[in-house]
Structures are given as structure tokens and as C-alpha cells.
Chain A
Amino acid sequence: MTSNYLVYLIALPLFGSALLLLAGRKADKWGHLLGTAMSGGAFVIGLYEFTQMLGRSNEQRAVTQKLFNWISVGSFQVDAGLMLDQLSICFVLLITGVGTLIHIYSIAYMSHDLDRRRFFAFLNLFIAAMLLLVLGDSYLNLYVGWEGVGLASYLLIGFWNQKPTYATAAKKAFVANRVGDMGLSLAIMISFATLGTVSFAGVKEHAGQASTGALTAIGIMLLVAATGKSAQFPLQAWLGDAMAGPTPVSALIHAATMVTAGVYLITRSNFIFDAAPTAQLCVAIIGAITLLFGAVVGTAKDDIKKALAASTMSQIGYMILGAGLGPAGYAFAIMHLLTHGFFKAGMFLGAGSVMHGMDDEVNMRRYGGLGKFMPITFATFGLGYLAIIGVPPFAGFYSKDKIIEVAFNAGGIKGITLGSAALLGAAITAFYMTRVVILTFVGNKRWAEKAHPHESPALMWLPMVLLAVGSVASGFIFTHGNSLKNWLAPVVEQSPVHEGELLKPAVVSVLALVLVILGVGLAVLKYVRKDIPLVAPSDVSIFTRIARRDLLQDDFNEALFMKTGQGITRALVVTDKSIVDGAVRGVARLVRGSGSALRLTQTGFVRSYAMWILVGAIGLVAAIWVVTL
């Protein structure tokens, strides 16, 4: 099946972005409306394609569109082509749907910002790049989108780059992403060298003939790419700093969509990972490490956005873990991704709403008791909270429990380890999310003196309400009759062998619920009764201090990579100055020296020139004479 409308999905926001950037200040009055309209238009096209898709049988739902012949070198042919299948449409609807809501939210949130037009231009650029990422029909096309979202992320994190720390945060995100991008480009190169093709269909077809070693190499490189983009261990350090960007950016890019691109990449490459068990195991391990890592960091953060960022990291860890569990887990990874898109975006918008009402204060120790003053924010945030900690029947309960269950059923020690990690993560999640809610909305007031908390305007709370509805209902809709699993079945082929179940679903649910209640209870005990000090206490255990420092990831990177890199740079500078520059300057000095020596022969006397001519002529005659003799 082909479709002619796919290109407009990307073209609309791209056009919006280009127009807003080129039109300059003239577009200040209507720029935000155009940006929102373009994003909304893409959502409408996505919905249209979705309804078309529903009308076809399961095997024929994927549609493609060839745009142009992009690279044609010898036997290497790459078409710029788009492909919309059951997996991409989930992303398209999430990106354009949540994206449009966040555009609407940003109209109000950024209304006092002089550069609101530029902000919307970047948001549209992001939407276009992200759609290209999920619609590309080859790794190379995906790569273009992959770099595009990296650029948009960089531009938006550093949107307020008049503050040097924000500009540094943007740079940090960009550099960390470069490491991951290098993994993706290496994966593409290995894929071309061993399989001779980079399109999804071609790689899927030829994957059976390649050696396991080559597939493992591709898989590991794809995992490196995913860790960079999705802020997974060990490249996760940038996500916390990325909160320097405006809150709608954190909600859209650094919670709901861009950071989940790694999950998309792994799910899309399921044919590689299913044939390379080592790489698949690495994926699961990375996911398990990150979900605990993020959760632990989340318990120690006082900045509401950084706490949510750590939570995002942890939740994406769940998705990566799910994707690393093979055919049994892909659908649940995507399901958690979609539900997370709703509840985390909703909570970030809630955090933005709180900041909006509290003069951009982000320290939760300066909040407290805001529930009464911001009832809608409190309600929507609360629903997102119930969803993320996995209280039935909210969305997170369905998706997260399924991942924990699949992890336990992966078999052997691997299953028990991964399952326990996921279960422990659920308990810590409950603890730190409860902490966030209590510190922000409950308890005594700890505001700055001039703070006047108030509910945000309708343009802001409307998207929050819609996302809260998603947080409540999406889990039930996706699991009802295994709808999402069956929907994705043609893309991520189900394994025919069904492994024995270690734990029954009901047991997992009860276990998870008990741990969640424990986590919530602990947080309530710790934070509801006590007075919260305005400044984080310093006489705390070494573990708390390490957690506050992001588990020393920055220090590690600094010691191992930054210091080494600086050392190499210094050595190279010395080499450059003494050897490379030395050679160049030496040649120059030689030419200048010989020039000034030869200058002395230019006397200006005709007779001396005549003398030289005579000497030359005699020399010439003598030479000829000698040669002919």
C-alpha cells in the first residue's frame, strides 16, 4: 500500500518552522498560532491515516511513500522513503497529539517571553524531525530525523541561553547525544558492510544470513545510540541538566517523545535483537540498571523538574528493559511508552503550571500546600501520580506490571534478577513520586514572601486535563482484549514458543501493589508529619549525598573522559605548535633567508648584470662542450 499524505505529516511542521524563522519579528503576533495549527494539522493527517489503517486487514496496514532517490552510488541505493506501519502510527499520534497539546499550553506559558515565535519555530522543527525519525523507512532516513531531534533538543534546552549555565546544559546534552549518534552511524556502517543494505525491510530480509557476531555488533551499536538519546546508563547524565529548557520542552522532548526514540529504535530493530541474544541481554541489563539508577536519583532531588527528569530516566529504563526481553516485551515497552507519554507529559505540564504560579520557583522545599490554590493542577498531577506509581486502574498499572511480569518470566536467574530490579524500582518510584506530591501540594506553606500562587489560565490547564484523561484511560484501552499487542503483532513478530510462567500475573500485581504501598507509606511517614527544612540538610548519610550528586556520574565522566580529553588536547596543542607549525614556519624562514641572501646579487649596475650574463653564457657553452665531448 502506498499513501501520498505521509510527506505532509513532516512537511507541515517543517514549513511552519521555516516560515517562523524566516519571517522574523513580523510573525511575532501570529507565530504561535501558526505553529500550533501546523502541529494540529499533522495530528489530523495522522488521525486520517489511522482511520484508513483501521479499515484494512492486519497484514496490509503498513503504507509507504517514496519521495525521491536520495543516494545512488554503485550498488548502494537509498531512497528517501517514508513508511507508516502499526508501530509508527502509535508514535505519530503520540508526537502530534501530545505535541499539539503542548503547543497550546506553550501559548499561555510563553506568553511573557519576547522570543515566543522562535520557541514555536523550534517546537515545530522538533515535531518535523521526530516524525521523520519514526516515519523513515531505512536506518539512514531515521538517522536524519535522529540528528534533527538532537538539534531541536539542543536549541530548546539552550532557549534561554543568556544564562551561561543553560547554554552549558544544552552543550552537555548535545555532546552526550553525539556519543550515542556515533553508535547509530557505526551500526549503519556495519549493517551496510555485512548486509549490503540499510533499509528496515532489507535488513530484516538479510538478517538471517548474517553471522551472529555481526548482528551482535549492530545490536550493541544500536544500544549505544539508544542510551545516548534515551538518557540510559551510562550516557544519562545530560537529562537532568536538560531541564534548563522551558517546561513545555521538558514535557514534550525530554519526557514524552524524543527520549523514547531509543525504545523505538530497539523495537524497530527487533529482527536484529531477536537474532543476537547477547545484545538483547545487554539491552535488558541497561534498562534494569537505569530504572534503579533514575529512581534512586529521583529520591534525592529537590528541584521538581529534576526529580521528574530522574523519574523519566527510570521509566524509560522500564521501556528499555521491556524491549530487551524480546518478542514477549516489545508490545509492553511500547505500551508503557505511550502511557508514560500521557502521564509524564501531564505531570511536567503540572510542574510548569506550579512554576508559573510561583514565579518560576523550582525548589520543592519552597512549595507546600499548593493543592488548595491550584486545584486543577493538583488534580491532574495527582492522576498522573497515581498512573506512574501503578495504582489500578490507572495507566501505569497495566503497562508497568506487564513489564515486571514479562521480566520475571524471562526464565532462570536472568528473569529473577531483572524482575526483582523492576519490582524494587516500582517501590522506589512510589516513594519519590509521593515525596514530590507531598512536598508540592500538601503540608505547610514554605513559600517565598512575595509568592502569590494562583491557578493557571485555561489554555494551560486544558491540555493538562486532556493528558490526565489519557493517564487514566489509556492503560485500560491498550490492554482491553490485548488490543495494542495484537495491533503491533505484524511488526514485532510474536515468538511461537511460550515459556513457562514463573509468577502468575495476579501474583505480580499483588507484589507490586504491596511494594508501592510500602513506598508511599514510607514517604508519607517521612514527609507529611515533619517540618521540611527550607535548605536541604547537609548532615545526611553518604548515600544521600551521592544520590544528590546523580550517583557520581558527572564526577566519573569528568575524571575519566573530560580530564583525559583535556590532557590529549593539551598534548596535541603542543605537538601542533612545535612540530606541525614548526615545519611550516621552518619552510617560511628558509625561503625568507635565501631570499635576503640572493637579494645582495641585485646591485642595479648594468655592468654586473652583463657580467653575470657573460658568466652564464660561458658556463652554458662549457656545459655543452663537456657533454658533447
Chain B
Amino acid sequence: MNWDWQAVSDFMPQFWDGLLVTLQALVLGSLISFTLGLVWALLMRVPSRWVTWPVGVLTEFVRNTPLLVQLVFLFYVLPEWGVTFSALTTGVVGIGLHYSTYTMQVYRAGIEAVPVGQWEAATALNLPLRRTWTAVILPQAIRRVVPALGNYVIAMLKDTPMLMVITVLDMLGQARLFSQEHFQFTEPLTVIGVAFIVISYLASLLLRALERRLVH
């Protein structure tokens, strides 16, 4: 096996394109999963089965079916319903939706971990329910769940190559394309492997810094 630095440098333009797509998918997917997960978690607390039952069934379904199947489903079925997103948008929505069913559980645990005394103090001060959530409960709950949410960002990063099956050219997609054109597999695949480690590491540093900032 020979290592060909020329192949590495030939791959670079495509690598940067792929990196950009991977990062886009990761950042947007994370934002969707963080937001939607919180929405699910709050809806599950609505004291009506007409709300909790559909939300429960939907999220249970999404959590317990493979992301890969969901991506393919969204990619081929949504257009039949007249919804045409770009491949990347479909992928981002798919990943975000899938991981939102995990982040909702993280939020739920975080919300339940806020001591009951906080709710009681809010009642004693006559704070409206909305304000109790936004000023008292959620700030404390979210602070608690940042590390757990961070773990899902890393997991999401490792799932982004699945977007390849719906024609998105992420890092893996670009590496495969390059390999097929040049019959050089080792260099592009090694490069993206290293890139994944570097992104994970940077992301974990970022999260640790965020955690530290959130703890007084």
C-alpha cells in the first residue's frame, strides 16, 4: 500500500465541499433536534391525552425505526405528497426529527430534576405558569442537560454519512465520488476519518467550555 500525497491534495477541493455539507447537516440537525425535542417534552406535559397520546406515538415510532429508513422514506415519499425539499434539507430535517425523539427524553429528565421547591416558590410568588417555565424551570433544566445534549451532537455527527444514500455529498459522499473517479480509496477515506475525529474533538471542547460557563 502506497500513500500518495498527491491524491490527498487532489481530493482537497472536494473535501472542503463535503466538510461544509457535513457541518451544515450537523449544525442545522442539532438546532432542529434541540428545538423540536423541547417542543415534544413540553407537549408531553400537557394534561390532555389528546395531546400526549399522538405525540407519544409519533416520537416512539420515530425513535424505534432506523434513521436510514426514515431518510429514504422522506426523500422518496415527500415529493409524492407535493413537498419538494433539496436532498440536504430533507437530510437535515430527517436527522433533526430523529434525534429530537432522543433529546425530548433528555429534556424530560432535566425538567423532572428541577426540585419541586422551585415550582412551589414560583406559586408562592404568584408567577404566571408561562413565566415559571421561561424564567425558573427551563433555565435550570437546560443547564442540567447540556452535557447529555452534547453527546447527541457527537452521535449525530457520526450519522451524517447516512445522508449519502439520499444523494447528499457530505464528506463520505465526496470521498466515494473521488475514489470512484481516481481509483484511490485510502487517501480520501483516511482524510475524512481524521476530519471526523477532529470535528468530534473540537465539538467536545466547545461543549465543555459551554458547560463550564453554565455552572456558576
Tell me whether A and B are bound partners: no
**Which residues on B are within 8 Å of A, measured CB to CB?**
none
